[in-house]
């Protein structure tokens, strides 16, 4: 980990960049994936509030990938949407996390499906095209307190998708912290224009992952994959993102695949020594 390595520069577009620790889980997950590929992740901090159509190219040009992390509120949103547009249009690897997925969907709806005012009802309650909206069972609630989708939930992946390739399995479990989702009314429109809804809740009601079929790596998740990344086990989405960015930078063919799982640890049972009260164990210290 500490040995000198070549660097891979990733542009992280957020609004809390004055305090980098606000994105600590994200940058650490990025480094986990970079280490696995023998490089160091160099983060280019980009303030989404200051991104405009006039400067987005100069601010993001040269980065091997663009990452838009989670967040809340309208401040800096248009800058994140511009970052998603830059990555899609220039075919630069893109990874969106939670709000980063929502910005990617908003951009795609505006620029590809022709819904120029597409938005999230979090930012514009009166948008004519609410491609991001409250979860279906929360739309009529007046008091939104305590209504976030929190914790670990399963998702089913589309066979053959980039997500399925890097996970190497059909059903995954990921951690969530959000209130807004892709609006199901726009699924057919988005899919018809080329966006693949490659991860969905088992009942098919909620979109968990989106990706673009004709892009080297434009993948975004509604959940927070950074929470499950480890130094010896980079998260599959970060791993695929870094692998693609590195291959494109080095002029190599992109090869995606799941990493071998680490050896399983011995399962603990009620009869295992470490699970029994200390006084009942053979290795317990004598009472004083």
Q: Residue 1 domain-assigned?
A: no
Q: Residue 229 domain-assigned?
A: yes
Q: Is 226 a catalytic residue?
A: yes
Q: Is 103 a catalytic residue?
A: no
Q: Residue 59 domain-assigned?
A: yes
Q: What is the mean pLDDT of the chain?
A: 88
Looking at residue 264, its pLDDT comes to 45
CB 157 within 8 A of CB 210: no
Residue-wise pLDDT tens digits, 221-235: 999 999 999 999 999
CA-based nearest residue to 31, from 220, 249, 224, 238: 238
The helix/strand/coil state of 106 is helix
Q: Residue 285 domain-assigned?
A: no
Which of the pair, 280 or 90, is modelled with greater confidence? 90
Q: Residue 2 domain-assigned?
A: no
**Cα atoms in the 13 Å half-sphere on the side-chain side of 170:** 2
Q: How far does Cα 177 stand from its chain's mean position?
A: 12
Domain extent, residue 22, equals 7-280
Q: With 0-12 CB in 10 A as exposed, 13-18 as middle and 19+ as buried, what is 121?
A: middle
Residue-wise pLDDT tens digits, 174-216: 999 888 999 999 999 999 999 999 999 999 999 999 999 999 9
Give the residue-averaged pLDDT of 69-77: 91
Which of the pair, 100 or 146, is modelled with greater confidence? 100
Percentage of residues of the chain with pLDDT beyond 70: 86
Looking at residue 134, its pLDDT comes to 85
Percentage of residues of the chain with pLDDT beyond 90: 76
Helix (H) or strand (E) holding 109: helix 99-111
Looking at residue 273, its pLDDT comes to 38
How many domains does the structure of the chain reveal?
1
Angle at 107 between CA 179 and CA 99, to 5 degrees: 25
Token readout for 177 is: 């912290």
Residue 247 has pLDDT above 90, yes or no: yes
Q: Residue 105 domain-assigned?
A: yes
Looking at residue 178, its pLDDT comes to 82
- Annotated active-site residue in 98, 107, 129, 235: 98
CATH code for the domain in which residue 159 is found? 3.40.50.880
Q: Residue 164 domain-assigned?
A: yes
Residue 162 has pLDDT above 60, yes or no: yes
Tally of CB atoms within 10 A around 40: 16
Residue-wise pLDDT tens digits, 80-122: 999 999 999 999 999 999 999 999 999 999 999 999 999 999 9
Q: Residue 287 domain-assigned?
A: no
């Amino acid at each position: 980990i500490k040995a000198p390595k070549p660097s891979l520069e990733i542009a992280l577009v957020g609004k809390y960049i004055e305090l980098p620790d606000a994105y600590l889980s994200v940058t650490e997950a990025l480094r986990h994936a970079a280490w696995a590929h023998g490089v160091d992740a160099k983060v280019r901090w980009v303030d989404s509030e200051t991104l405009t159509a006039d400067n987005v190219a100069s601010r993001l040009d040269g980065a091997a990938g663009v990452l838009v992390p989670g967040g809340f509120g309208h401040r800096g949103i248009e800058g994140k949407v511009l970052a998603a547009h830059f990555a899609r249009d220039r075919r630069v690897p893109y990874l969106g996390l939670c709000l980063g997925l929502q910005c990617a969907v908003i951009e795609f709806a505006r620029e590809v499906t022709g819904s120029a005012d597409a938005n999230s009802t979090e930012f514009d309650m009166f948008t004519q095209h609410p491609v991001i909206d409250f979860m279906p069972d929360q739309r009529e609630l007046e008091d939104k307190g305590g209504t976030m989708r929190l914790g670990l939930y399963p998702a089913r992946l589309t066979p053959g998708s980039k997500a399925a390739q890097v996970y190497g399995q059909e059903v995954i479990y990921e951690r969530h912290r959000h209130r807004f989702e892709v609006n199901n009314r726009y699924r057919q429109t988005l899919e018809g224009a080329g966006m693949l809804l490659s991860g969905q809740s088992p009942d098919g009601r909620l979109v968990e992952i989106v990706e673009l079929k004709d892009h080297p790596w434009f993948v975004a998740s509604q959940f927070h994959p950074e929470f499950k990344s480890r130094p010896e086990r980079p998260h599959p989405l970060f791993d695929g993102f870094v692998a693609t960015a590195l291959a494109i930078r080095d002029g190599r063919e992109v090869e995606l695949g799941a990493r071998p799982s680490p050896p399983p640890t011995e399962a603990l049972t009620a009869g295992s020594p470490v699970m029994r009260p200390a006084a009942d164990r053979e290795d317990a210290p004598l009472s004083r």
